[in-house]
Structure 1
Amino acid sequence: MNAWDTNARLVVAIDGPSGSGKSSVSKEVARRFDLAYLDTGAMYRAVTWWCLESGVDLTDPQAVTAATETVPLEMGTDPHEERITVAGQNVRTAIRGNRVTDHVSAVSTTIPAREVLVRMQQDIIRDSGYRIVAEGRDITTVVAPDAQVRILLTASEAARMARRGKQVGAAASSDLEARVVGRDAKDSTVVNFTTAQDGVHLLDSSELTMEQTVQGVIDLIIRATTHDGALAAPHDTGANAPEEAR
């Protein structure tokens, strides 16, 4: 197999519901192929955090959009080190709390705000030299519909609840289920991340381990790119990261 061409474009777009494992899988795939990594869901969370901290009325679409347009947000794209700052403050932990989780759909379902963030996400993909794994809910259809590899990563509700519970250090509960399923239901009113569109590969991780899911994505990447001789075997980082969910 030919050596890996580090100049070749490779955009991997991964969508999926909360708890499908897309964050852990996307980061590990990015590590193995020496690609940048973009968690677009974290951008919506960061804007939500900024709105809450700034006293923005989340029921006012114009106010939410204005805040999105002016948020001093910086997104890191190193898959080895998550870096998310707002106004110079590291918000990596703060945006994962229930306070943000309970309000993030107010931002993600505001269409003009989504349009602002989509443009930001497309700029990040361009700035990566089109060598990136981007994950979220509308990457395969809106943000990067021309990505070389487009995947919808799914899992059963039971599997997703178990993973989410493990991530937050608690057993699955009705409260946790309401948060996860409720957010998916709200976001699904503005973007379809439950059905694979034309050209999007469906990968169900319900019965798969983290490593098996990563390998499934790698197989799809190799299948989609080896025709031009640009792809070699990815690095084995030896990572055994826990499942993550958004």
Structure 2
Amino acid sequence: MRAPVVTIAVDGPSGSGKSSVSRAVATRLGLAYLDTGAMYRAATLWCVRSGVALDDAGAVATAVVAMPLEMGVDPAAPTVCLDGDDVAEAIRTTEVSSVVSQVATNLDVRAELRRRQRAVIEAEATGGFSGGRGVVAEGRDITTVVAPDADARVLLTASEEARLRRRSLEVHGAADADAVEATKDQVLRRDRDDATVSQFLVAADGVATVDSSDLDLDQTVEAVLAVVAHVTA
């Protein structure tokens, strides 16, 4: 008998560990993995490279609708390609991080990327990389807007201190006071800006909360898998 299709939605603030955890969960369960945050970063890079003024909401939306974006959903090696160009590293630069919220808070952009995200989720339910087994999709509004009917919905959170420390280590390779201070804009300001258009700081009804403040990666993965097992039993 064919195993049931599983859609797992994971939301959370910057530095909560949702990307690493979601990839690990997808790997453990043999599912596809979709990083929706990378899609917003790619849209930002596309607009910057195309010379589109990010404060021109209409022009940004038009550019994103035409954007030739291809997302690779293998959790072992997820890819982000713009017009055939691998931009997985380019979208993580400070240049993109400092302005991505201007694009991510554009409601027309969100509508377009949500359409694409739902298309990936549907594709993985019928075939795609996972052979129709399903997908782990992570971002800011997956549990509430993109996939509110997902089989398992998780809000992955952590204390401000833990999130700043993690992102500082990721970006600067250190977690001393200077490195943490340099990371605050990418974490706290982005969360504040993005919270104006999506709910990812407090779990919506029916969404399980996993606090990873005092958990390592393996422990957090096990906590999320326990939620999945419980709601899909």
TM-score norm. by structure 1 comes to: 0.88
**Structure 2 partner of 1:44:** 40
- 1:63 and 1:31 map into 2 onto residues whose CA distance is 38
Which one has the bigger helix percentage?
Answer: 2
Shift of 1:189: 0.7
Shift of 1:192: 1.2
Residue-by-residue CA offset, 1:66-98 (whole Å, 9 max, x unaligned): 011000100000001021100110000000000
- 2:92 and 2:186 map into 1 onto residues whose CA distance is 12
1:99 to 95, 100, 121: 95
5+ residue gaps, structure 2? 126-131
Q: Map of 1:57-72 to 2, 5 A cutoff? A: 57-72=53-68
Count the aligned residue pairs.
Answer: 222
**Structure 2 partner of 1:113:** 109
**Structure 2 partner of 1:242:** none
- 1:167 and 1:64 map into 2 onto residues whose CA distance is 29
5+ residue gaps, structure 1? 227-246
Q: Are 1:187 and 2:188 counterparts?
A: no
Residue-by-residue CA offset, 1:155-214 (whole Å, 9 max, x unaligned): 000000111011122333322112211111000011111011110001100011111100
- 1:148 and 1:178 map into 2 onto residues whose CA distance is 34
Q: Match of 1:132, SS?
A: strand
Residue-by-residue CA offset, 1:121-169 (whole Å, 9 max, x unaligned): 0000000116000000000000000000000000000000111011122
Q: Are 1:160 and 2:167 counterparts?
A: no
Q: Map of 1:75-90 to 2, 5 A cutoff? A: 75-90=71-86
**Structure 2 partner of 1:223:** 230
One-letter code of the match for 1:208? L
Q: Which structure exhibits the higher relative contact order, with contacts defined as CA atoms closer than 8 Å and separated by 6 or more residues?
A: 1
Label 1:6 to 1:85 Cα distance change in 2 as closer, same or farther (>3 A).
farther
Deviates more, 1:174-183 or 1:31-40: 174-183
Shift of 1:6: 5.6
Residue-by-residue CA offset, 1:7-42 (whole Å, 9 max, x unaligned): 411000000000000000000000000000000000
TM-score norm. by structure 2 comes to: 0.93
Q: Match of 2:15, SS?
A: coil
Label 1:57 to 1:28 Cα distance change in 2 as closer, same or farther (>3 A).
same
- 2:65 and 2:225 map into 1 onto residues whose CA distance is 36
Deviates more, 1:138-147 or 1:162-171: 162-171
Q: Are 1:149 and 2:156 counterparts?
A: no
Q: Match of 1:74, SS?
A: strand
Q: Match of 2:222, SS?
A: helix
Q: Are 1:170 and 2:166 counterparts?
A: no
Spell out structure 1 runs of 4+ moving beyond 6 A.
none
- Indicate conservation of the 8 Å contact 2:165/2:180, yes or no: no
**Structure 2 partner of 1:209:** 216
Q: Match of 2:214, SS?
A: coil
One-letter code of the match for 1:120? R
Deviates more, 1:171-180 or 1:116-125: 171-180
Q: Match of 1:85, SS?
A: strand
Residue-by-residue CA offset, 1:44-82 (whole Å, 9 max, x unaligned): 000000101110010011011001100010000000102
